[in-house]
Chains A and B, each alone.
Chain A
Amino acid sequence: MNAAQTDRMDILTSSDLTRHATQDPLRVVGLTKTYGPPSNRVTALAGVTTSFAAGTFTAIMGPSGSGKTTLLQCASGLDRPTGGTVHVDGREFVQGGEAAATRFRRTRIGFVFQQYNLLPTLTALQNVTLPMRLAGRKVNRRQCMDLLDQVGLAGFADRRPTELSGGQQQRVAIARALASRPSIVFADEPTGALDGTSAAEVLSLLRRAVDAYGQTMVMVTHDPIAAAVADSVVFLADGRIVGTMRDPSAAAVSEQMLRLDLARRNDGPR
């Protein structure tokens, strides 16, 4: 069986709807996203159907331009897909106006961004509590302090982002993502701006959130070492899922990425 066949087999399992996926924290069906005018249409997502089971850690990988960030943005409600549906906890994501979409996602979805995205005017603790304040929920200060403690920032609650290192800022962002107890946390290249040590700390925190709290986590990354922390890896190329890998190792992920790059080069430029 050659590599292409293995990949096709994996597509079938990843979009196997018989597995009662309707109750999964996140399910996307036939997700498409295109940009530009009809004459010069660019397809970022060409119909992605997949499901993420509760308490699992999934990494999304693919060559640049494969649509992995677009998938994250459309699945998380940051961007509007052109077609297809997103279901969070079995409920369909309402693709209405921005306000409606924001209200839907802010209590259900947590985010960790590559650029941390902490508000510079707020302290670490205030940044952690912000999504709950915005959602008009009661802020549980004690719980947020505990979270800061767990990400190793016990004494830093009153520091402002500019007074923290990149790794520390990202750990504040992780505490913020977990604070509202969301159904799913999306991490977009969470280690992309960090050095090796800080990256390892951030990855182990994400892993611990999955293991200790049963948090469902979806992470976009291009780093095989980061992907190896996940339970499974979904590979994307040209806006499609082209394979999945369970219990990934950095070496196996690297190899698969090389294969995808090679296949793409043989196809020539799109």
Chain B
Amino acid sequence: MAEFFGNYVPQWLAYLLAALVHCALLINVVAVGALGFIWLERKVAGRIQDRLGPTRVGGKFGWLQTLADGLKLLTKEDLMPEGADALLFRLAPYVSFCASFCAYFALPFSDGWVAVELNTGVFFILAVMGLEVFGVILAGYASASKWSLFGGMREAAQVVSYEVPMGMCVVVPVLIAGTMDLVEIGRMQGGWFTNWLIFHDPFTFITFWVYFTCAMASVNRAPFDLAEAESELVAGFHTEYSGLRWSFFFMAEYGSMFAVSGLAAILFFGGWNGPLPISHWLGLTYENGPVAGYLGNFLGMLNFIFKCVAWVTFMMWARWTLPRLRIDQVMKVCLKYCVPIAAVMFLGAIGWTYMLPDKMIGRPYAERVLEDGLPRPSGSVAASERNAPHGVPPRAVAGAELGQSAVGAENKHGGQAMPRYAATRYAATRYAATGASPGRQRRSDLTDHSRPGSAPATESASRPAGLVARAAERN
């Protein structure tokens, strides 16, 4: 896009415009999403409370209610309390919003449709969502009001405490997938819904619910919403905010809700892959041409958004159903329940993948990949079968891909398609290209790092070569 603009304006302006267009597209997701979610929240709240919710603005269902609310907020007087620290008071909503928005940089909406494909995607999202707490603290302090300060402190303590079990819960699918790259994790769950990581083993299943609880606490949704406890603290840390500043806090909250739901969808529910491989059945893959591939990706994006909205609706359902927890109950849930359960699930997931290697259920995914081949991504362009259901892809695919990586194409995907548990296998695939004999000699010293009961290191080093040979003789 920058090159296109560069034909008309100086180069720096071209890049600036391209960056602005991309940012505008991403902000639209957050802003329009918030618009939709506020309406949805009011409708869901109404129905749960046995009433209708907004019905007047924009037809029978009140579609445009949020727009009317937004207009009202824009026209409100811009107040600031007298003792407030002016700079910090003005800055706090934007800090919260930026932190929530930055999570969308690394969140893929479909195969390859991500702003920045980060190698440490999961880690980056967790890190920037933890920065939202600064906006809250600043808002609480800068409002020069006791209610705000108490609300801000409580919320900061809660968010920071719940980052710990949330991190531990997120590590479980990362260790099963072997990569922190969200696009790779999504690709691995292609095919039928049995490939989804939530159904990989019972530990992952429980981990998802613990993750969801921690995510709800982390974005301050009920029943963990003491910071905005309307019945106790007036409105907590955003008591003194009105008009457009307040709406930034709300956009940040709904943006964070969508982001943690998106993370849950990718890590546990296959992301853009549907429960059934419909894109593959309809032939909407890149194999059949770029348009078909684009449509397949678009369908995947709709799938992803549907999953996110479903989980956001679940959060709203929980909010309007469950009573609010006290701060000591919140801390108790975190430290006495979530952290130990997450730790046990982590150990259990490790144990499952290592102690049950031969069974079909819970067989390490990477070993399945070695034997049966990787389900090919729909986004990349290569001349082999796409989105095949689990177990069907030909070995030639795996052999060709592994052979390519072993020969040293150093393709990032080729290098990371290999199982990542055993140091031996990682060394074999990443550094087999160098073929240095010291490397080969070192590998024998690394035998104790391999899985119990697996083949000795030298054999696993030659495994890619073996598969290449098998692929060669098959072709």
Partners in one complex: no
Chain B contacts to A: CB under 8 angstroms: none
Chain A contacts to B: CB under 8 angstroms: none
